[in-house]
């Protein structure tokens, strides 16, 4: 390597940092687990770094790109969502940015499914009963019962990578599946899942005939026992079908009073004030959330209300937090490996230096010939 590249990472991404150093890179890692202040990111970028490794906690906008003008060549984000990076600004300054799609798809989908199970079968409440020494008897229905998942109907909102992976998990539980996505419909995938369902029933492995189909948002919300959200955060100006507060008073009231909402996408997709009311007033039966309008979840959040504790499961943005998924240095397995490989691709000019051919770059539109 002729040039020694300088990189600032706003968080430690494990062994992949050492691999960069072994390649001759000069890498500085922000040592605290919390996000660095933006002023520090600006200072580092101004100092002339070539690459910036970020997380979804770091606001990356025109101010950052201006500070790195002519020097900063790549932003590599360890996450699939990139709503913290202003794409228009990145394009204006012609800085490619990386995300780590695909490698967290299965981990996120399985966590969404486990959240759904924990919520419906009251696993948290049941364990508390035991730990608080309130398990006094076995009784057919006291002190409470949960809701089965097998054979129920789920709505998958957003049928991109994680939505489709979630469909696979749900198909394994013989669920009926309603799909909604205004921008991308994978009919071949849906047909294949139906064929598998039909085969299982013909062979007597599944007792009932179950189905999967695309439908409208309203029908999906009205008919589903579970609603699982897998959309990117898109604000008003960013899409014809924005997802900001997609779940609000109107859409929550459309759901059945026995239905459950699961959100592993982004917090602002759900209007939390409306959801807290929906839970308090029993418009829906429960919710399990991994992401919040403000993270970490503030101590005074209405979602922490003890009155809804039994039907509101709360997790700390944890869906992709599995060992191999987060930290493997293999770009085909780990977010860290993929993030660092994307950074190397840009800085070392892989793919003939053609950014549009680099697999992990998001904003390829800024580099078209
Ligand atoms: P993706 O781009 O493959 O899929 C998103 C899908 O949502 C697309 O098919 C898109 O057409 C669809 N969509 C867009 N607007 C919609 C709307 N208004 N209604 C319904 N569907 C709409 O992305 P992905 O890899 O499946 O990831 C989805 C999101 O999940 C990410 O953007 C990220 O924010 C979030 N995520 C969270 C975690 C976590 O730890 N909780 C982990 C990974 C991803």
Select from 3.40.1580.10, 3.90.226.10, 3.30.1220.10, 3.40.50.720 the CATH code of 6-103+323-367.
Answer: 3.40.50.720
Per-residue pLDDT tens over the stretch 277-289: 999 999 999 999 9
Q: Does residue 145 have a pLDDT over 90?
A: yes
pLDDT averaged over every residue in the chain: 97
366 C-beta closer than 6 A to ligand 1? no
Determine which residue's CA is closest to atom 25 belonging to ligand 1: 161
* pLDDT level of residue 2 (50, 70, 90 thresholds): low
Instruction: Supply the pLDDT for residue 227.
Output: 99
Q: Does residue 316 have a pLDDT over 70?
A: yes
Strands 153-157 and 226-229: parallel
265 C-beta closer than 6 A to ligand 1? yes
- Ligand 1, pocket-test mutation among 232, 235, 242, most atoms within 8 A of CB: 232
The b/e string for 313-322 (b: 16+ C-beta within 10 A; e otherwise) is bbbebebbeb
Per-residue pLDDT tens over the stretch 327-355: 999 999 999 999 999 999 999 999 999 99
* pLDDT level of residue 368 (50, 70, 90 thresholds): confident
Domain ranges of the chain: 6-103+323-367, 105-314
6-103+323-367 and 105-314 have identical folds: yes
pTM score of the predicted model: 0.96
CB 146 within 8 A of CB 120: yes
Asked, as a colleague might, if the bond just before 143 is cis with ω within 30 of 0, I would say yes
Per-residue pLDDT tens over the stretch 173-188: 999 999 999 999 999 9
264 C-beta closer than 6 A to ligand 1? yes
Q: What is the mean pLDDT of residues 108-122?
A: 98
Q: Note the CATH architecture for domain 105-314.
A: 3-Layer(aba) Sandwich (3.40)
Asked, as a colleague might, if the bond just before 49 is cis with ω within 30 of 0, I would say no
Per-residue pLDDT tens over the stretch 216-248: 999 999 999 999 999 999 999 999 999 999 999
């Amino acid at each position: 390597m002729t040039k020694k590249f300088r990189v600032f990472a706003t968080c430690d991404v494990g062994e992949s940092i050492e691999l960069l150093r072994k390649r001759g890179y000069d890498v500085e890692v922000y040592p605290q687990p919390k996000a660095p202040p933006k002023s520090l990111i600006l200072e580092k970028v101004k100092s002339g770094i070539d690459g910036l490794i970020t997380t979804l906690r770091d606001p990356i906008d025109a101010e950052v790109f201006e500070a790195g003008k002519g020097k900063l060549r790549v932003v590599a984000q360890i996450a699939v969502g990139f709503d913290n990076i202003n794409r228009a600004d990145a394009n204006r300054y012609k800085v490619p940015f990386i995300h780590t799609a695909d490698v967290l798809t299965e981990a996120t989908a399985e966590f969404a499914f486990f959240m759904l199970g924990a919520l419906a079968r009251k696993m948290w409440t049941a364990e508390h009963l035991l730990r608080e020494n309130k398990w006094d008897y076995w009784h057919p229905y006291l002190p409470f019962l949960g809701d089965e998942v097998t054979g129920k109907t789920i709505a998958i909102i957003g049928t991109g990578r994680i939505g489709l992976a979630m469909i696979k998990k749900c198909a394994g539980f013989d669920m009926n599946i309603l799909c909604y996505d205004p921008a991308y419909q994978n009919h071949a995938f849906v047909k294949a899942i139906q064929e598998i369902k039909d085969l299982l029933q013909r062979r007597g492995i599944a007792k009932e005939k179950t189905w999967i189909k695309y439908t409208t948002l309203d029908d999906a919300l009205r008919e589903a026992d579970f609603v699982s959200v897998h959309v990117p955060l898109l604000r008003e100006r960013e899409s014809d079908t924005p997802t900001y507060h997609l779940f609000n008073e109107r859409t929550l009231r459309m759901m059945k009073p026995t239905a459950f909402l699961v959100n592993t996408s982004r917090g602002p997709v759900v209007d939390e004030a409306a959801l807290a009311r929906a839970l308090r007033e029993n418009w829906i039966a429960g919710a399990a959330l991994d992401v919040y309008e403000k993270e970490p979840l503030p101590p005074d959040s209405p979602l922490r209300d003890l009155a809804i504790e039994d039907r509101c499961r709360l997790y700390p943005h944890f869906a992709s937090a599995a060992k191999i998924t987060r930290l493997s240095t293999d770009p085909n397995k780990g977010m860290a490996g993929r993030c660092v490989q994307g950074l190397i691709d840009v800085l070392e000019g892989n793919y003939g230096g053609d950014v549009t051919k680099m697999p992990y770059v998001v904003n390829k539109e800024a580099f078209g010939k």
